[in-house]
Amino acid sequence: QEMAVTGKVSEEGGGEVAGVNVVVKGTNRGTTTNDKGEFSIQAEKGKVLIFSFIGYNSKEVTINASILDVSLTPEATALNEVVVTALGIKKEKKALGYAVSEIKGEELTVARTPNMANSLAGKVAGLNITGTATGPAGSTRITLRGNGSISGNNQPLIVVDGIPINNENLGQAGMWGGADQGDGISSLNPDEIENISVLKGATAAALYGSRASNGAILVTTKGGKMEKGIGLEVNSNYLAEDLLIKEFKDYQYEYGMGNNGLKPTTVNEALTSNSWGTRLDGSNVIQFDGVSRPYSAQRDNLSKFYQIGSTFTNSVAFSGAAATSTYRFSMNNMDNKGVMPNNTLHRNNFALNVNSNLGKKLSILTNIKYVYEKTKNRPRLSDSPGNANYAIYSLASSMDVETFRDTKYDAAGNEKVWSDNVYVTNPYFAAYDFQNNDQKNRVIGAIEPKFDILDWLFVKGRIGIDYFNYRYRAIEPYGTAYKVLGSYTSNQREFMERNMDLMLGIDKKFGDKFGFNLLLGGNQMRNVNRLTNLGGNNFNIPFFYDISNIDPAARTSSENYIERRINSLYGSGEFSFNNYLFVTATARNDWFSTLASGYNSILYPSVGASFVVSEAIQMPAAINYFKVRSSWAQAGGATDPYKLLLTYALSGAHNGAPLAQINNTEIPNSLLQPLTSTTFEAGLEARLFNNRLSADIAYYSRKTTNDIVNATVSYTSGYNAAVFNVGEISNKGIELLLNFEALRKNSFTWNASFNMAYNKSEVINLYNDLQTLRVDENRTRTAYVHQDVGLPYSQVKGFDFKRDDQGRVVYDAQGYPLQGNLMSYGSGVSPWTLGFTNSFRYKGVGLSFLVDGKFGGKIFSGTNALGYRRGNLEETLPGRDGGLIGEGVNENGEANTVRVEAQPYYDRIANNIATPFVYSSDFIKLRQVIIDYAIPSKYLGSKSPFKAISVSLTGRNLWIIHKKTPNIDPESNYNNSNAQGLEFYSAPPTRSMGVNLNLKF
Amino acid sequence: CTKDFEEVNVNPNAPAIVPLDYLLSQSALLLAGSAGDPGYKSWRANFIYAGCIMQQMASVEVGFYRGTVYTFQGDLSAAYFESSYPNSIKNLVNLIDLASKDAKDVNVLSMARILRVVETSFLTDLYGDVPYSEAGKGFISKINSPKYDPQQAIYMDMLKELDEASKAFNPASYKPTTADFVYGGDLDKWKRGANSLMLRIAMRMQKADATNAQAWAKKAIDAGIMASNDDSFTIKMDKTGAGNNSNANSWNLGAGRKIADGNNIQWAKTFIDMMKARKDPRLPVVAALKNGDRSVDKQIGIPSGTDATTLTSLPEKNLDNYSRAAPNMYVLSNPYFIMTYAESQLLKAEAIERGWATGDAKAAFEAGQVAAILQLNAYGGTLTDADAKAYSAANPYPSGTLDAKLEAIQTENWLINGSVLNHMEAWADWRRTGFPKLVPVNYPGNETNGQIPRRLRYPQSEVGVNENITEAITRQGGDTFMTKIWWDK
C-alpha cells in the first residue's frame, strides 16, 4: 500500500541537512531534502528508504510510519572505519598501530591527470610525488617518509588487488639524454579504482616483504555489488593541456644572435645558437639557411612550437549480481595528444571482477585486467640529441622557431645543420623525423579461493600474475646531422611476475573481551624478464627504416634473460582486549635468489599496539575519539640479479676474431648481504568538538643499515660504480593531518583539510671511512648529486667560484673567475611538503581547491647554465658593451681590475662553476580546482533511466604561486632516479583543464 | 626450495670464462677507440684538442673545436681519461691478470702488457700524473679510488714493462694470430714494435731525465727497433661500418660524424703551408677541397684561431674551398696508427745526434723521410719510391747545430703524425722539442694567456670521487692547460 512518507533529516546532534538524496531501495524513485532538511516521498510500508549525502554515512531505514525523522552521522565519525591493510586484509582502523591513509577513487577520477600517479600529489602527509617533467606517459617518483636507500629502490610497492605489480621505469633519460618510457602505475585506469590505501612504513608493509620496505600503495579496484539489475556507469572526460610557462621571463631580448658582439654576416657566422650579437635593431640579418630576416626579439617560440594537448577518456562499466556471484566489468579508452607535436598516447583498459560464493564455505574472487598502450614519439630529454625541448630552450633571442619548420632539410633531404653543434637537433626534425614508439600489452590477474573450514578458521590461496609484452622501436633517421647514416633500435621485453600465496587464518573471540586472530602463510615470487634487442648504425638505403637495411656486419643483437626469486614465510597475530586495546605482531623470512647462499636469508619482525583511550576511559566532552598507537618494524631487502660475479659480454667479431669484454660496469660483490630497514613510529588520532576537528599526528624514525649501494667510483678503477653494503641512513619525521569542518550551516558546508610532513634525513655513515659517494652527474659536468656523511640525503654539489679567505671571488691574470672547490648546496629532496584543501558545498554544487608546496630543497639547472653560455639569460646583459670587470680579487689578493669581454666571461662561468645555477626548489602551486555538480535525483524524475548524473570541471597545475627558479619549473627533474636535484632540458611543465561527466543508470 | 637459487642467479647471457684471445682482440679495439662509443676519445682528444692545438687541424666553430683557441669544456677535455679507464685499461688489466696465471699464455700476456703501455702513454702524455699502478683494479684488488702515480714513476715502469714483455715472448708457446690485430701473431714484429715504443718513451724523458733517457734509448736501439713500414704499430680495422670495427678517426671524419665531409674541421693553414713549402707529395693524398679537387695549388688551410666572423675578412670566405681530410683518409678500414716505422727512424736519428746511439743520423733521417712518404699508401696514396726520394732531396738533412737538426727531425715527425692522424703524438713531440715552431693564437677568453696548451685538464668528475686527485694537482702545480707535466719541465 503506497503512502506519503514525510520527515526531516538532521545531523546527529546537529542541525538539519539539505540536499540529502532519498531513494526507495530497489527503485528509481527518489527525492532530496529541502533547505530545512524535509522530504516527502511515495512508498509502501515495509520498503526501505536510503538516505545518502556526500560527507555522511548512508543510512537505510525501513518504513514503518508515515513520518520518519532520520539522523545521519558524518562520515569521519565512523568509529568502525575499515581500511585495507597488507595482503588485502580489511581491518578496523582503530586496531592499527601505524598510520594508513586512504584516497577514494572519486578523488582520482574527478580531478584527473593523464598520469594517475600525479593526482596523488599533495593529498597524503608523508607521500612525496615528484612528477618528472616528461609528459603524459612519463613516470613519477613516489616516496613515503623519505629515501631510505642510497641507490636502490626507494619507491613503495604498488599492489593492485593483492598483486604486486611492476612499477619500474622502462627507460629514462640520463646525463646523455634518452626518453622517459613510463612506468607501471601510470597505466592504471582511475575509473576502476575503488580506493587507494597508503601504508607508509615498513610496519604496515611487513607482510609484503622486502619490496615493501619503502611502504606500499594498495590499490583496490571496484567490484560488483549485491543489487538488483545491471548497474551501468558511464564516464566521459576531456582534458586540455597547455604550457604552464609560455614565455621565458628571464631570458634577454635586447641582444640578438651572433658571437663576440657581432651580427652574423655570413651563413657560417649564423651557424650558432648564441645570443652574443649586437643590440636588436630590426635590420635584416642572414640566418643559417642563407635567408635574411629581421633582427628582432622572438618571444613566442614556446607557444609557437608546442601545441595544446588533449586527452579524451571514456569509460563504461557494468556491474551487478547473479545468483551467488557479483561482478563488474569495465572498459576504458583514452586518447592523448601531448603538448609536444607528434606525441600521442592511446590506452585501453579492460577489467573484470567476479566474486563467487560456491556453497557456504567456498568463495572465489577472480579479477583480471588487460591494458593496451601505444605511445608515439615520447619526447627525448636531457642532453641535446633528438631533444626538441633542448633546441627550443636554446634558440638565440632573434631566432624564430618556425624557421626550423620551414627549413628542416637540406637539398639531399638531410637535417639542415643550423648551428655549430650538430648535436642540437632541429626541433621539428626531432619531433617529426625521429621515431620513438612503443606498445605494451599487459595482463594483471589473480584468482583467490577462500575456504572457511570453521567459522573461525579459513584457508586462502592466491595466485597473481603481472605480465606484459613491450615492444620499443626507435629510429635516429637517415640524415640526422650528428649521425648522418642514422640508427635503428628495436627492443622487445617480456615481463612476468608470479606470486603464489597460501594462508591459514584464525579469527576467534574468547568471551566478550578477548579477540585473537592469526595468519600464517607462505609466498613464492618469481620474476622474469626476457629482452631481445636488435639494432645498428648506418642505413644503406636512405630513409628506409628496417633492420634489413643495416649492413649485416654492423647489426647488433642480444638476448637477456633475467630471473629472480624470493621465497617467504610469514605470520601475523593480533590480540584485542575489550575492543580498545590491540596488539599486533608479525614476522617474515625472505630467501633471495640474488644473494649468495649463506647471505641470502633474513628474518624481520614487527610489533605494534593501538589503544583507543576514548573507549577505555571517560574523556572530557570535547574529545569524541582519542587513540594512541605505536609500532616497531623491520624489513629486509636484496638487490638485482647477477651482481655477484664478473662476467663477459661477447660482442661480435672483427676480422674473423671473436670479441669479448668485461660485462660489468659495476664492480661485482659476492659478499652482499640483505639490507635492513627499521622503523619506529608513534602517533595519535583524535576527533574533537563534536567531531568537527580531526587530527592524525605521527612521528617516525626510520633507519636503513647495510644498504646495498651502487656507488659511483672513479672511472680509473675501471668501473662506473661499485656494489656494496654501506652504513646507515636515517630518516626522522613528523606527519600531520588535520580535517576541519569550518562551517556547516543550512545547506552550506566548508571543510578544510591540511596535511604536512617534515622528513629529516641524514647519511650517518658510508663504507669504511668513505665520506662521500657520487650518485649522479649533470651533463654540464659541473654539478653532481652526492651522499655525504652527516648531511641529508641527495646533496646537490657543484663547483663554486674560487674564493679567498674573505669569500671574495678570485680571478686569474686575464680577468676570468677561477674554479674553486666542490661544495654542497643542500639536499635535492625537499624535507617539507604540505597540502591544503578547501571544499565548499552548497546543495549539489561543490567547489574545492588544493594548494600544495614543498620547501627546503635545492635544484641545479643545467638549462640555465647553458643559457648563460649562449647569452640567452637576462643575467648575461652586464658587460655587453665594452666588457666587464669581475668583482673580486686577483690571485695576489689585489682587487681585480682586468676588463674582459662578456661572452668569454659568461662562457667561462658556465663551463666551470655551478653556483650561479643552484636554486631553492621551494614552490607553492595551485594544484587542483574542482567544481562539481550532482543533479539532484528529484530532477531526474522517477521515470528517468538515470540513477545519478554529475558533472565536474577541473583544473590541474593551474598556477605556480611561488617559485625561485628562473625559467624552469622547480619540479623539473629529468628522471625519477635517486639523483634528485638535477635539471637539464626537461619537457616544459603543463597545466590542464577538463570536464568530466558521470552517468549512472 | 631455495636449492636452485644459485643457479637462478647465474647470468645465462654472459659467460664467466672466455678464451683469452677474445679479450685480447677486444682490448685492442677499445684502445683504438672504436668499440663502445666509436670515436668518443678520437673526436674529443685527438681532433678537438690535440689536432687543433697542433695547428694540423682547424675549425671556425671555435665554440666546439676548442683546441683551436685554447678554451676549456669539461667533457671534451676529460674524454680520453673517462673513456680509457673503464674500457681498454679495465680489460687489459684483467687480461694481464688472467694471462699471467699460466705460462703457456705468455705471448698473450706480453701483447696485453705492451698494449697497456700504449694506452697509458697516451693518458699520461695528455694529463700528466694519472692512476696507473692501481688503475683498472676495481674488481681484481677492490681499489675504488686508485692513486695517481707521478709521471716519472709511470715512465720508468712503462719502460720496464716493454723490456720484460718483449723479452718474454716465446715462439714455443701459444700465439694468437687472427686475434692479434697488431702483428697477426708475428712475435719478432712485436719485439721490434715494443722496442720502438721504448725508444719513443725514452726520448720523451730527454728534458726531464737525460740519463735514463739515454740508457733506455740505447737499450731499445740495441735490442732492435722497427725495420720497415710493415713493422709500423697499427691496429687493423674493418670496413663494415659497425662501431666495433671501424677506425675511430675515420668514423668521425667520415661515415659516423662526417666532420670532414661537412665543414666542421679542416686542415690548418700551418699544416698545408708546411706541406706546400716542402713540396710534400703527401699533400694530394691527405687533402682535398669539398668538391674533391686535390690539385696542390688549390689547397689552402684555415689559419688557426679563425672563427666564422674573422673568416669573412680572409681572401677566401667560402669554407668549401678550404682543404679538409680527403675521403681516402677516412675509409673505415684504415689502420689505426700507434707508431710508424718512420717515427722510429727519426727518433733514432735524434738519439744518434745526442750521442746516445751509434750509427748514421742522416741515414736514419732519410730512411724516416722515405718511410713517411710511403706510409701514406696505407691511407690510399699511390706514392712511389721516386716521390719519396724526391721529397727527401728537396728537404735535406741540415748540417749545423743540434737544434737545426732537431727541428728538421721533429718537423718530419709532426708531418707524419699529422698525416696518419696521430695528433696526440704530434702534440707530445712538440711539447718536448718545441718544433716545428708554431705561432700561438690569442683568442678572447682563452685559458692560456695566448700560449699553446701543455696538457689537458683532468675530468672534473674525479673531484669528489677520487680524493687522490688533489695530491696529483698539488704535485704538478695546478690543473690548468699550462701546467707543465714532468717530462715537459
- Of A48, A73, A98, the residue at which a domain comes to its end is A73
Cα of A24 to nearest chain B Cα, Å: 58
**CB-based contacts of A448: which residues, under 8 Å, 6+ apart?**
A162, A364, A365, A366, A460, A461, A462
List C-alpha distances in Å: A742 to A753, B14, B415: 10, 64, 86
Q: Is residue B363 situated within a structural domain?
A: yes
Asked whether the beta carbons of residue A593 and residue B18 sit closer than 8 angstroms, the reply is no
CATH code at position A38? 2.60.40.1120
CATH code at position A452? 2.40.170.20
Question: Scanning every residue of chain B, which has its alpha carbon at the shortest distance from the alpha carbon of A911?
Answer: B73
Q: Give the closest residue to B197 by CA, choosing from B45, B425, B449.
A: B425
Q: Is residue B298 situated within a structural domain?
A: no
Domain hosting residue B133, numbered range? 20-242+332-488
Using an 8 Å CB-CB cutoff, list chain B residues near A555: 242
- Residue A457 has what DSSP assignment? E
Do A343 and A224 fall into the same domain? yes
The pLDDT tens digits of the residues spanning A805-823 come to 999 999 998 899 999 999 9
Q: Measure the CA–CA gap between B433 and B487, rounded to whole angstroms.
A: 11
Backbone angles phi, psi at B316, to 5 degrees: -100, 120
State the pLDDT at residue A173. 65
Q: Is A777 on the interface with B (CB under 8 A)?
A: yes
Q: Is the pLDDT of residue A729 over 80?
A: yes
Cα of B352 to nearest chain A Cα, Å: 38
Q: Measure the CA–CA gap between B304 and B311, rounded to whole angstroms.
A: 11
Which three three-digit cell numbers place residue A444?
Answer: 594483471
Q: Is residue B429 situated within a structural domain?
A: yes
Do A445 and A563 fall into the same domain? yes
Cα of A90 to nearest chain B Cα, Å: 31
What are the beta bridge partners of residue A899? Answer: A885
Q: Is residue A261 situated within a structural domain?
A: no
Cα of B114 to nearest chain A Cα, Å: 18
Confidence class for position A300, pLDDT limits 50, 70, 90: very high
Rounded to 5°, the CA angle B261-B263-B267 comes to: 85
Backbone angles phi, psi at B429, to 5 degrees: -55, -45
Q: Is the pLDDT of residue A133 over 80?
A: no
Q: Is residue A870 situated within a structural domain?
A: no
Q: How many domains are contained in chain B?
A: 1
Q: Is residue A409 situated within a structural domain?
A: no
Q: Give the closest residue to A395 by CA, choosing from A428, A367, A433, A441.
A: A428
Q: Is the pLDDT of residue A795 over 50?
A: yes
Q: Measure the CA–CA gap between A151 and A722, rounded to whole angstroms.
A: 11
**CB-based contacts of B474: which residues, under 8 Å, 6+ apart?**
none
CB A657 within 8 A of CB B179: yes
> On the CB side of B79, how many CA atoms lie within 13 Å of its CA?
20
Q: Is residue B421 situated within a structural domain?
A: yes
List C-alpha distances in Å: B207 to A39, A881, B211, B474: 106, 46, 10, 21
- Of A22, A54, A73, the residue at which a domain comes to its end is A73
Q: Measure the CA–CA gap between A365 and A327, rounded to whole angstroms.
A: 10
State the pLDDT at residue A146. 67
CB B273 within 8 A of CB B359: no
Cα of A393 to nearest chain B Cα, Å: 18
Q: Give the closest residue to A277 by CA, choosing from A297, A291, A307, A249.
A: A297
State the pLDDT at residue B198. 98
State the pLDDT at residue A504. 93
Q: Is the pLDDT of residue A233 over 70?
A: yes
Q: Is residue A988 situated within a structural domain?
A: yes
Using an 8 Å CB-CB cutoff, list chain A residues near B236: 655
- Of A20, A52, A73, the residue at which a domain comes to its end is A73
Rounded to 5°, the CA angle A537-A541-A545 comes to: 60
Q: Is the pLDDT of residue A117 over 80?
A: no
The pLDDT tens digits of the residues spanning A477-493 come to 999 988 888 899 999 99
Do A50 and A131 fall into the same domain? no
> On the CB side of A539, how many CA atoms lie within 13 Å of its CA?
20
Q: Give the closest residue to A993 by CA, choosing from A21, A112, A293, A26.
A: A112
Q: Is residue A408 situated within a structural domain?
A: no
Asked whether the beta carbons of residue A660 and residue B26 sit closer than 8 angstroms, the reply is yes
Q: Is residue A219 situated within a structural domain?
A: yes
Q: Is A797 on the interface with B (CB under 8 A)?
A: yes
Place of cell 631510505: A148
Lowest average pLDDT, out of A855-859, A970-974, B395-399, goes to A970-974
- Say which amino acid occupies B127: Y
Q: Give the closest residue to A439 by CA, choosing from A488, A474, A388, A486.
A: A474
Q: Measure the CA–CA gap between A805 and A795, rounded to whole angstroms.
A: 24
Q: Is the pLDDT of residue A76 over 60?
A: no
Return the CA Rg of chain B: 22
List C-alpha distances in Å: A772 to A768, A778, B420: 11, 17, 44
Supply the DSSP string of A873-911, one letter for each residue. Answer: BGGG-TTTTT-EE-SSEETTSSBP--EE-HHHHHHHHHH
**CB-based contacts of A581: which residues, under 8 Å, 6+ apart?**
A609, A610, A611, A612, A616
Confidence class for position A204, pLDDT limits 50, 70, 90: low
The pLDDT tens digits of the residues spanning A664-718 come to 989 988 888 888 888 898 999 898 988 889 899 999 998 888 888 777 889 999 9
Per-residue pLDDT of chain B (489 residues; tens, 9 = 90+): 677 888 888 888 889 999 999 999 999 999 998 866 778 899 999 999 999 999 999 999 998 899 999 999 888 999 999 999 999 999 999 999 999 999 999 999 999 999 999 999 999 999 999 999 999 999 999 999 999 999 999 999 999 999 999 999 999 999 999 999 999 999 999 999 999 999 999 999 999 999 999 999 999 999 999 999 999 999 999 877 666 788 999 989 987 788 888 778 999 999 999 999 999 999 999 999 999 999 999 999 999 999 988 998 999 999 999 999 999 999 999 999 999 999 999 999 999 999 999 999 999 999 999 999 999 999 999 999 999 999 999 999 999 999 999 999 999 999 999 999 999 999 999 999 999 999 999 998 899 999 999 999 999 889 888 999 999 999 999 999 999 999 998
Lowest average pLDDT, out of A121-125, A253-257, A980-984, goes to A121-125
CATH code at position B228? 1.25.40.390
Q: How many domains are contained in chain A?
A: 2
Do A943 and A819 fall into the same domain? yes
Which residue among B72, B142, B240 sits closest to A554, beta carbon to beta carbon? B240
Do A352 and A478 fall into the same domain? yes
The pLDDT tens digits of the residues spanning B177-223 come to 999 999 999 999 999 999 999 999 999 999 999 999 999 999 999 99
Using an 8 Å CB-CB cutoff, list chain B residues near A561: 12-13
Q: Measure the CA–CA gap between A285 and A267, rounded to whole angstroms.
A: 10
State the pLDDT at residue A942. 63
Q: Give the closest residue to B464 by CA, choosing from A207, A275, A193, A821.
A: A821
* A157-160/A216-221 β-pairing: parallel
Q: Give the closest residue to A708 by CA, choosing from A146, A141, A148, A128.
A: A148
Q: Is residue B125 situated within a structural domain?
A: yes
Q: Is residue B3 situated within a structural domain?
A: no
Q: Is the pLDDT of residue A78 over 50?
A: no
Q: Is residue B441 situated within a structural domain?
A: yes
Question: Scanning every residue of chain B, which has its alpha carbon at the shortest distance from the alpha carbon of A782?
Answer: B460
The percent of residues above 70 in pLDDT, for chain A, comes to 92
Do A27 and A116 fall into the same domain? no
**CB-based contacts of B457: which residues, under 8 Å, 6+ apart?**
B72, B74, B77, B78, B127, B479, B480, B481
Asked whether the beta carbons of residue B61 and residue A420 sit closer than 8 angstroms, the reply is yes
* A889-890/A810-811 β-pairing: parallel
Do A573 and A655 fall into the same domain? yes
Q: Measure the CA–CA gap between A664 and B83, rounded to whole angstroms.
A: 15
Q: Is the pLDDT of residue A77 over 50?
A: no
Q: Is residue A145 situated within a structural domain?
A: yes
Q: Is residue A425 situated within a structural domain?
A: no
The ipTM value here is 0.92
State the pLDDT at residue B243. 67
Asked whether the beta carbons of residue B308 and residue A662 sit closer than 8 angstroms, the reply is no
The pLDDT tens digits of the residues spanning A860-906 come to 999 899 999 999 999 999 999 889 999 999 999 999 999 999 999 99
Q: Measure the CA–CA gap between A829 and A858, rounded to whole angstroms.
A: 7
Do A378 and A467 fall into the same domain? yes
Do A125 and A49 fall into the same domain? no
Which three three-digit cell numbers place residue B106?
Answer: 705468455
List C-alpha distances in Å: B276 to A406, B280, B300, B319, B487: 44, 6, 9, 19, 32
Confidence class for position A226, pLDDT limits 50, 70, 90: low
Asked whether the beta carbons of residue B25 and residue A905 sit closer than 8 angstroms, the reply is no
Q: Is residue B73 situated within a structural domain?
A: yes
Do A34 and A116 fall into the same domain? no
Domain hosting residue A26, numbered range? 2-73
List C-alpha distances in Å: A109 to A188, A190, A237, A239: 12, 6, 9, 12
Residues 265-304 of A with CB under 8 A from B: 265-266, 268-272, 274
Which helix (H) or strand (E) segment holds residue A183: the answer is none
- Report the residue of B5, B85, B120, B181 to disrupt the A interface, i.e. the one with the largest count of A CBs within 10 Å: B5
The pLDDT tens digits of the residues spanning A139-152 come to 777 777 767 676 66
